[in-house]
Amino acid sequence: MSNTEKRRLWRDVSVFDGLHTLPEPMAVITQGGRIVSLVAMHDFVEHQAEGCDEMGRGGVMTPGLVDCHTHLVFGGSRADEFEARLEGVGYEEIARRGGGILSTVSATRDASEQALFELAKPRLEALIADGVTTVEIKSGYGLTVKDELKMLRVARRLGEALPVRVETTLLGAHAVPPEFENDSDGYIDLVCQEMIPAAAKEGLADAVDVFCEKIAFSVAQCERVFEAAEAHGLPIKAHAEQLSNLGGTAMAARHGALSADHIEYLDAAGIAAMRQAGSVAVILPGAFHTLRETQQPPISALREAGVPMAVATDANPGSSPLFMPTLMLNLVCTLFRLTPQEALAGMTAHGASALGLKGEGRIEEGARADLCVWDIDTPAALAYAVQPGRLRQRLFQGELTHAI
C-alpha cells in the first residue's frame, strides 16, 4: 500500500479547522490524499480504527499553513540596507537612491535559473519545516520579460522538487527598472503588451500583482496592468496602501481582486470596496516590524466589515527577511491585536482564499489531507510562543513528509 493510500488515524487531537477550534477532542482519519473521517472522540467507535496506522494521540491539528504572499526567489542580500535603515535612512529614501528593490533586481538578473533555484530552495524548506503546505511565490525582481519568466520558472520548479503546492504570481509592476527611469508608462506598456502575454502563454503565472505606491506605480498604471491580466484570464492582487493612501485597493477591488496586501493606510472607502468585492485583506506584520512602520492596518474596521484577513510572511530580502510563518502568527497578534484564532485562520482558510483557493485550508471530511500536528495543548499556543521544533507531523496530499 502506498504511503498515500494508507489509512491513518489520530486520536484525541484538538482540531483548528481553518476557521475555529472545534469544541471537543477529535479522531481524524485520512486516506487517499483526503480527510475521510472527522468525529468527536466520544462518538468514535473502535471498529473505525481497523486497518488504520495509529499516528498518535493528543496535540493540536491544523490545516497545513498557507503562506499567501512571499518573494522567495531572489539573488543577493540587503544586509547593507538593513544597516543603513538602522542608522535612520528610510525605506522610501533607499528606493529613491536606486537601492532597495532595484539592488535585488540587479543581483537577480545576474543569477542563472539554476543559481536562483538553489538559493530559494532552503528558504522554501524553512517554510515547509514550519508547517507550510501551500505557498505563493512572486516574481518582481527581474523586470524584463526574460528575467520575470526566469523567476516564475524557478517558482514552478520549486513546487515540483519539494512537497508543497506553489502558486505563482507575476509581479512585473514591482518597480520601475533603471532602463525606464524616466518612462514608467513605457515600462507598463512592456508589462501589459509583452510580459503578461508571455507568462500567460507559457502557463507560468497563476495571478498578476502590482505595487501601487508613490515609489512604484500610480493607480492608473496599475489599472492598465489589471486590464491586461483580465484579458488573459488571470486573477489579480495588489500591494497597496502600504506607505500612503493612493486608493489602489478600491480600484483593485473594483476589478475583483483576490486580495489587497499590506494596507496599513487603507481608508473606509477601501474597506467598503473590499467587502463588496469579497477581496481578502492580507496583513503582513513582518514588513511592518522590519520597516518600523507606525501606521497600523485598520484591523477593527476590517473585522467589523467582515472582510476576511489573511496573514503571510512577505518573505523577501528587503522589507521582511523573515522566513518563519509561525513568527508571523505571534507578530500579528502582538502588533495588531488579532486573536490567535484570527491569526491561524489568516494562515489557513483565509490565506487559501487570498490565492483563489476558496474552501481550502480547512480540516473537514473530503478536504485535502494537507495538515500539521503540533506538540502543543491549544491552537492559541502556536501564536503565543515563538518556538521551532513543535511540528510533530506534516502531511502533504496525504503523504507523511515530516515526523518527529
Ligand X SMILES: N=CN[C@@H](CCC(=O)O)C(=O)O
Which residue in the set 101, 127, 192, 372 belongs to the binding site for ligand X (CB under 6 A)?
101
**Does 325 sit near ligand X (CB under 6 A)?**
no
Q: What are phi and psi of 207, to 5 degrees?
A: -160, 170
> Is-contact 32 398, C-beta < 8 A?
yes
47 is in an annotated binding site: no
| Closest alpha carbon to 73 in 33, 127, 19 | 127
Any residues with CB less than 8 A from the CB of 399 and at least 6 apart, and which?
3, 4, 33, 163
Which residue in the set 116, 143, 204, 287 belongs to the binding site for ligand X (CB under 6 A)?
287
**Does 108 sit near ligand X (CB under 6 A)?**
no
Name the DSSP class of 68.
-
316 is in an annotated binding site: yes
Find the part of the chain contacting ligand X (CB under 6 A) among 199-207, 305-313, 314-322, 395-403: 314-322
262 is in an annotated binding site: no
303 is in an annotated binding site: no
Maximum distance among all Cα pairs of the chain, rounded to whole angstroms: 72
**Does 105 sit near ligand X (CB under 6 A)?**
no
> Is-contact 383 344, C-beta < 8 A?
yes
Q: How far is the C-alpha of 280 from the C-alpha of 266, rounded, in Å?
A: 13
Taking the alpha carbons of 348, 309, 214, 96 in that order, is the dihedral positive or negative? negative
CB of 216 to ligand X, least distance (A): 7
Residue written as cell 500536528? 373
CB of 83 to ligand X, least distance (A): 15
H helix runs in 255-361, sequence order: 268-277, 285-290, 299-305, 325-336, 340-346, 349-354
Q: How far is the C-alpha of 341 from the C-alpha of 363, rounded, in Å?
A: 14
78 is in an annotated binding site: yes
Name residue 236's beta-bridge partners. 208
Q: How far is the C-alpha of 127 from the C-alpha of 217, rounded, in Å?
A: 30
Which residue in the set 142, 172, 248, 317 belongs to the binding site for ligand X (CB under 6 A)?
317
112 is in an annotated binding site: no
Judged by CB, which is closer to ligand X: 251, or 391?
251
Find the part of the chain contacting ligand X (CB under 6 A) among 37-45, 99-107, 159-167, 194-202: 99-107
Find the part of the chain contacting ligand X (CB under 6 A) among 45-53, 226-234, 311-319, 362-370: 311-319
Which residue in the set 293, 314, 342, 360 belongs to the binding site for ligand X (CB under 6 A)?
314
Burial of residue 45 (number of CB atoms within 10 Å: 0-12, 13-18, 19+) = exposed
Find the part of the chain contacting ligand X (CB under 6 A) among 17-25, 96-104, 200-208, 274-282: 96-104
Find the part of the chain contacting ligand X (CB under 6 A) among 32-40, 108-116, 294-302, 317-325: 317-325
71 is in an annotated binding site: yes
**Does 242 sit near ligand X (CB under 6 A)?**
yes
Instruction: Give helix 101-110 / helix 145-161 axis angle, nearest 10°.
Output: 80
306: left (phi over 0), alpha (psi -120 to 50) or beta: left
368 is in an annotated binding site: no
Query: For the window 60-79, what string marks contact with ligand X as x by the rule CB under 6 A?
Result: -----------x--------
- Judged by CB under 6 A, the chain residues 141 through 200 that form the site for ligand X are none
Any residues with CB less than 8 A from the CB of 287 and at least 6 apart, and which?
242, 262, 293, 314, 319, 320
Chain centroid to CA 5: 29
69 is in an annotated binding site: yes
CB of 319 to ligand X, least distance (A): 4
> Is-contact 275 317, C-beta < 8 A?
no
Judged by CB, which is closer to ligand X: 291, or 395?
291
Judged by CB, which is closer to ligand X: 100, or 340?
100
314 is in an annotated binding site: yes
Find the part of the chain contacting ligand X (CB under 6 A) among 155-163, 312-320, 334-342, 379-387: 312-320
Extract the annotated binding site.
69, 71, 78, 141, 174, 239, 242, 314, 316, 318-319
Binding residues for ligand X, rule: CB under 6 A, are 71, 100-101, 104, 211, 239, 242, 287, 314, 316-320
Numbered residues of the known binding site for 4-imidazolone-5-propanoate: 78, 141, 174, 242, 319
